[in-house]
Chain A
């Protein structure tokens, strides 16, 4: 009786004091104890139920069989104990949980090193990290933990891998030989980066592809801005109800897959396509019939004899890119112009500024953040464009996207491909830094 009374008393005093974040951690531990139990049950009954093994179970089976029992039971006991202790307000439970977290992170590392089983290791380490953050009462970190965790797994880690591969060498048959700092020294690490800037047979073939891609990306950005800005401006000056309908209309093409829309352009532009069909049959026949009547029709009959070269050239690549990215320019420009204080333009007008000065001194500076955002949204994907040039360009010339594909697939030179990828990332990062600089001045 006395012991339970003390227990209850202890419980009452401390349960109220347990911070919510620690309480959640305790429930997490409790749930995980149940999971350990379930896994233990599966392991014991593998023969009798003939479970389909998970990857991590196959990985565990490569160790001495006793290990799985130890891990599962130890996990069950530790998690259960820690959870119950915390929920009963015993502070040592928190310490036990912390110790468990550190140990499991270490274990996950060893596990991955020995079995290369990625998902199990990520799960173990991720959950242990979350427990650590919660049990050390880092509330802000605990809330942002999932975001940070996925950012590391899906952004930082892949980029580190790409960087590592870009510093490696292509081995026999397209395998990857990872760098060895002690043997190779620092300079040879960047072989693949140097290769990009080295002439092959007297020609800077990689730089030519790079400059062509740059030219296309810059040209497309300018083209999109030239057409997109007046269009966004026009939408922004409409009545509110019309604005939403117009923006909706801009977005409708997104409902169709981009690849399908690109192939639709082929049907329009090719020699036997809709436009050339009209040009070489309908128009040509009329012109031939009227050729005797005037010089103009004689000339028209002559030019319409052959189809227009609408496809498989630089012009059609520009058209495809312009068509694909135009909506991406209109949307950020519109959202910027929509919030513009139009009375400033009226004020400029009152102060005697004509249309030219109103535009260059007031309107453009105010909408600069929108222009820069739109430019980057177009420039970055244009630089790496792959599908549009491949389909609408006829494959005659390479862009950076084609070069990348060629390295990863045909040449099986992953290190060089990764190096090109990293160089492209550097350029895009530069573009985004410029954006922050411009938008920072405004802000």
Chain B
């Protein structure tokens, strides 16, 4: 038995020697870092032929209900790339997942301020605009945004505003349409309809920005005195508010008439309008207004993760989303504005004519971006928010 064992050992050793003698041939080809390189090599050599060589699969990670999924099916059929589609509920969820080292996501859709954070953390790939033949379709006012100069990382996807949604047919609002932030913050006005319910967005930056705009302050302020004024305004108005909801206020508060007025993103109000649309009256229950003091505008973006192993395919998909017909199909489904100028030819006329989705030029002048406020700013806003939620 021992002899046999020795023989086996001897065999194993010879094998080992043979393997060593043959040089380091085994293993998964130098680890994961090597994989993108090979793909890049392959695609660059292919480019002279019919377009880049596409991977078999592409992983797209988007907000829930934020694309007509038929678009994905069309892409799969046209180019033979299988799309793995997954959704998230907030920018913070997306960041937490990527920061924890999640790999395998190729295309993501962060909002403006989150783009700045992700660029800083090195989570996004740089893109080459020359590879995006459809980039010229975009409306210049959405290009070169402050959070991503020269569109080095992302392309615009959809945009919208944060204003006020209110119940059509409410007697008070028929005489006094809420065209000012005073309808969210001024106790004398709030008293008139607080009994019927008021919702505000459960989002520190959005609520603080609304208060800042009403007070005539910079919505991106990090001045402690100004933040104190904002806090005081919010705390005086808070007793009149019924709920803080930014997750599902459209379906859970607006449509079932739990509130009559809401600090709101434009999309959910438009969806509530179409959900309550009455064919006979030719009207829905919910209207949206952009206050005359100004409002926040925001932009969601198409970006490519830095951990992607299918960069060429991701860029190709990005370019596909910038096609005029595709951009229009997205807007026709989610009721947000499209930053794609060429897409307007394909967008439903009632959306193009809707001033809450495509506001007139003079309103657009009053729209501002929320910008990153830095680490100290994040802390100040967090303390402001905790103080808002700590009170009565």
Contact = CB atoms under 8 A, between A and B. Distances in A.
Interface of A: 7, 43-47, 51, 53, 57-62, 64-66, 68-69, 73, 76-77, 80-81, 84, 88, 170, 172-175, 200-201, 203, 205-206, 208-209, 266, 270-272, 306, 312, 394-398, 402-403, 406-413
Of the candidates A57, A206, A396, A411, the one having the most CB atoms from chain B within 10 angstroms of its own CB is A396
Contacts of B389: 209, 396-398, 402-403
B19 A396 contact: no
A15 B48 CA distance: 72
Contacts of B381: 411
B306 to A, nearest CB: 15
Nearest to A66: B24
Contacts of A62: 31
Contacts of B27: 43, 46, 57, 60-61, 65, 68
B244 A406 contact: no
Contacts of A46: 26-29
Given A65-B26, A201-B383, A205-B387, A394 B20 contact: no
A394 B244 CA distance: 6
B242 A394 contact: yes
Contacts of B252: 266
B57 interface: no
A396 B96 contact: no
Contacts of B385: 406, 410
Contact of B375 (A58, A80, A173): A173
Closest 7 CB pairs of A and B: A65-B24, A53-B28, A395-B244, A398-B389, A394-B243, A411-B382, A409-B92
Contact of A69 (B16, B29, B93, B245): B16
B32 interface: yes
Interface stretch (B2-10, B283-291, B297-305, B319-327): B2-10
Contacts of B382: 406-407, 410-411, 413
Contacts of B368: none
Contacts of B29: 46-47, 61
Contacts of A80: 5, 8-9
Contacts of A47: 25-26, 29
Interface string B204-233: 100000000000000000000000100100
A286 B256 CA distance: 24
Nearest to A405: B92
B90 interface: yes
Given A57-B28, A272-B257, A409-B96, A44 B19 contact: yes
Contacts of B96: 408-409
Contacts, number: 153
A88 B2 CA distance: 9
Nearest to B241: A396
A174 to B, nearest CB: 8
B387 A306 contact: no
Contact of B1 (A60, A88, A398): A88
B264 to A, nearest CB: 15
Given A203-B390, A406-B386, A412-B378, A396 B243 contact: yes
Contacts of A406: 382, 385-386
B257 A271 contact: yes
A406 to B, nearest CB: 7
Contacts of B231: 201
12 contacts: A44-B25, A44-B26, A61-B27, A65-B24, A65-B26, A66-B24, A68-B26, A203-B390, A206-B386, A266-B252, A312-B243, A409-B96
Contacts of B168: none
Contacts of B2: 7, 88
A69 B20 contact: yes
B42 interface: no
Contact of B12 (A73, A175, A397, A408): A73
Contacts of B238: 396
B30 to A, nearest CB: 6
Given A46-B28, A57-B27, A396-B244, A205 B386 contact: yes
B360 interface: no
B392 interface: yes
A413 B379 contact: yes
B383 A66 contact: no
A395 B390 contact: no
Interface string B121-140: 10000000000000000000
Contacts of B256: 270, 272
Interface in B353-392: 375, 378-379, 381-383, 385-387, 389-392
A43 B25 CA distance: 9
Given A43-B26, A59-B31, 9 more contacts: A7-B1, A44-B25, A57-B28, A58-B31, A66-B20, A80-B5, A174-B99, A312-B243, A402-B389
B95 A412 contact: yes
Contacts of B392: 397
Given A58-B32, A69-B26, A395-B202, A403 B386 contact: yes
A49 to B, nearest CB: 11
Contact of B378 (A43, A77, A175, A411): A411
A61 B35 CA distance: 13
A200 B383 contact: yes
A306 B195 contact: yes
Contacts of B95: 412
Contacts of B378: 174, 411-413
A408 B19 CA distance: 50
Contacts of B12: 73, 76-77
A271 B258 contact: yes
A64 to B, nearest CB: 7
Contacts of B174: none
A356 B99 CA distance: 61
Contacts of B104: none
A271 B242 CA distance: 12
Contact of B5 (A43, A81, A396): A81
Contact of B24 (A64, A172, A306): A64
A292 to B, nearest CB: 27
Nearest to A394: B243
B281 to A, nearest CB: 20
